[in-house]
Structure 1
Amino acid sequence: MKVKITGIGGYSSVIQLDNDASLRHLIEATHAPLPVAGIRFGYPPQRVNLNAGSATLTLDSLGICSGEKINLIFEDEGSLNKQPASLSATKQQVLPSTKCKITLPDGEENVLQVHQIPDDNSCLFHSLSYCVYKDISLSPQLRTVCSTQIRSDKNLYSDAVLDKPNEEYAQWILRKDSWGGGIEIAILSKNFSLAIYVLDMDALKFEKFNEDQFTHFVIIMFNGVHYDALELQNHTTVFDRHDELYSEAVLEAALEIAKKLKKGGHSFNTRRDRIVCNNCHAILVGEREVARHAESTGHFDFGQAKT
């Protein structure tokens, strides 16, 4: 069975155990940073104190099954707050903002990281091309897929939806300086037979495209004007949402990266923040205004305007 372990001070791990494992086996497998006094699990939470009698009880007899979330109760949680001893939490503190250490269900530690994509107006297509093919040079083909699909369904992709005539849009999206967005993400999701999770860095939440249709997904991160891809350090970019503990660990790490980057000023609220073109110093507000400026000028280097 696989269970998720959490504890005070940011301690977090996903471990795999035999189906007949005891409470003692579980505690030993966590490699907890402090002596464990007991566990909490279930809803409403129930506590089991660790003692000679409970240590030999099987997890099954306690009502713990695969997928359970278990909170460790440490004997001296105060010292953990003063001196963080959690290996994973300590290591995360020294990683750059673009990385977050996680423990995967097989017990191996890995790092989720941002794969930085060039700022050249094709960042959406580059990020998805990287996630699927590990090669951003296929971005023009992805534009072609979108253009063909838009042209083939003029009812779904009407002039009102596209904010320009269907044929004009189908030609426009083929240009390497045209920004892609939700329309293109939805099309490419179906083309790849993959759900696409877009992590909004400013809102700190995921927009999930076609999650109900596909079990596998990729993650891209949007800071308001730019997309980057997310991957494990071993270059894994496609994840299986049916493996709940595995995918949950990855998504939590992605949110942690977004939080750190937002705190560092890397996110833009395109409905609120003023954006400056670093090429001509024009001040813009809103994603659509930025996109139109990029289309008309060929400029693609943007930043947050100082207030």
Structure 2
Amino acid sequence: MKRQVIVYKMEGSIVRRVIPSDNSCLFNAVGYVMDHDKYKAAELRQVIAATVASDPTKYSEAFLGKSNEEYCSWILNPEKWGGAIELSILADYYGREIAAYDIQTTRCDLYGQEKKYRERVMLIYDGLHYDALAMSPADGAPEEFDQTIFAVNPDRTIGAYESLALNLVKDQQRKRSYTDTANFTLRCGVCQIGVIGQKEAAEHAQATGHVNFQEYK
């Protein structure tokens, strides 16, 4: 008996949806892939603060790098950036894995995978900024047609979507569409002092309270 093989053709491509650069790109990128809403930062910052405040044992000073109370106040400040801690909390809040692709290294950090959630969303990170990844049905199709939530298969992958996303990330890497945070040059928007790398920027911010930096060549 001849075995029938069914081949499914995937229409469309993975695209990068740009999120405004306003210090809340992580939260708004998550808002877009989860809810098709690019303006959820204030709400999601509240979610994170409430989660952290509700479990001071788990979210201790050793874990957060600052006291629980100080962190909750800090994350509610719209000028503060998010990172791994916030993505982990938001993965659990939505009950979906969050895959964050780093352009410079093409590494994918997967949040929520230990919970074996059945769906996944994808972000892309250039060293300073997060954007959203989506499956668009055709070139130039409106964002309203984007697919941003993908089913996780029994092998814990999302199938061909995963390789399409990685191809896009590698293409962005070839185009050097990232910032080398160890060696990039920044100028303080307040006092105009130049600093090199994320470490010097953090030290300047801690010493002066200035958090408005612009990259320059």
* TM-score bin, normalised by smaller chain: 0.7 to 0.9
SS at match of 1:109: coil
Distance 2:200 2:63 in 1: 14
Distance 1:131 1:232 in 2: 11
Structure 2 counterpart of 1:232, which letter?
Answer: M
Offset at residue 171 of structure 1 (A): 0.8
Matched, 1:175 2:77: yes
Give ranges in structure 1 of 5+ residues lacking alignment: 1-18, 30-104
Offset at residue 287 of structure 1 (A): 6.5
Distance 1:288 1:174 in 2: 24
Offset at residue 300 of structure 1 (A): 5.2
With structure 1 as the length reference, what TM-score do the two structures score?
A: 0.60
Offset at residue 235 of structure 1 (A): 0.5
* Structure 1 residues 222 and 242: CA distance shift in structure 2, 3 A: same
Which of 260, 263, 284 is residue 196 of structure 2 equivalent to?
Answer: 284
SS at match of 2:16: strand
Higher relative contact order (CA 8 A, sep 6+): 2
What is the match of residue 152 of structure 1?
Answer: 54
- Do the aligned residues in 1 keep the contact of 2:14 with 2:135 (CA within 8 Å)? yes
Offset at residue 248 of structure 1 (A): 2.8
* Structure 1 residues 244 and 178: CA distance shift in structure 2, 3 A: same
What is the match of residue 274 of structure 1?
Answer: 184
What is the match of residue 217 of structure 1?
Answer: 120
Over residues 30-80 of structure 1, what are the superposed CA-to-partner deviations in whole Å (9 max), with x where a residue is unaligned? xxxxxxxxxxxxxxxxxxxxxxxxxxxxxxxxxxxxxxxxxxxxxxxxxxx
Which of 132, 143, 151 is residue 229 of structure 1 equivalent to?
Answer: 132
* Structure 1 residues 147 and 177: CA distance shift in structure 2, 3 A: same
- Do the aligned residues in 1 keep the contact of 2:188 with 2:210 (CA within 8 Å)? no
What is the match of residue 140 of structure 2?
Answer: none
Distance 1:204 1:156 in 2: 30
SS at match of 1:297: coil
Percent identity, aligned pairs only?
Answer: 26
Distance 1:190 1:288 in 2: 33
Over residues 148-170 of structure 1, what are the superposed CA-to-partner deviations in whole Å (9 max), with x where a residue is unaligned? 11111112111122222210110
What is the match of residue 24 of structure 2?
Answer: 122
Which of 177, 187, 199 is residue 89 of structure 2 equivalent to?
Answer: 187
Offset at residue 269 of structure 1 (A): 3.5
- Do the aligned residues in 2 keep the contact of 1:185 with 1:196 (CA within 8 Å)? yes
What is the match of residue 21 of structure 1?
Answer: 4
* Structure 1 residues 245 and 212: CA distance shift in structure 2, 3 A: closer
What is the match of residue 33 of structure 2?
Answer: 131
Matched, 1:238 2:141: no
Matched, 1:208 2:110: yes
- Stretches of 4+ moved more than 4 A in 1? 243-246
Larger Rg: 1
* Structure 1 residues 282 and 235: CA distance shift in structure 2, 3 A: same
Give ranges in structure 2 of 5+ residues lacking alignment: 137-144
CA root-mean-square deviation: 2.8
* Structure 1 residues 265 and 191: CA distance shift in structure 2, 3 A: same
- Do the aligned residues in 1 keep the contact of 2:25 with 2:130 (CA within 8 Å)? yes
SS at match of 2:209: helix
* Structure 1 residues 292 and 140: CA distance shift in structure 2, 3 A: farther
Which of 45, 64, 77 is residue 162 of structure 1 equivalent to?
Answer: 64
Offset at residue 264 of structure 1 (A): 1.7
What is the match of residue 297 of structure 1?
Answer: 210
Distance 1:245 1:164 in 2: 34
What is the match of residue 142 of structure 1?
Answer: 44
Distance 1:261 1:243 in 2: 29
* Structure 1 residues 169 and 245: CA distance shift in structure 2, 3 A: closer
Offset at residue 286 of structure 1 (A): 2.6
- Do the aligned residues in 1 keep the contact of 2:195 with 2:201 (CA within 8 Å)? no
- Do the aligned residues in 2 keep the contact of 1:119 with 1:301 (CA within 8 Å)? no
Offset at residue 244 of structure 1 (A): 6.3
- Do the aligned residues in 2 keep the contact of 1:119 with 1:300 (CA within 8 Å)? no
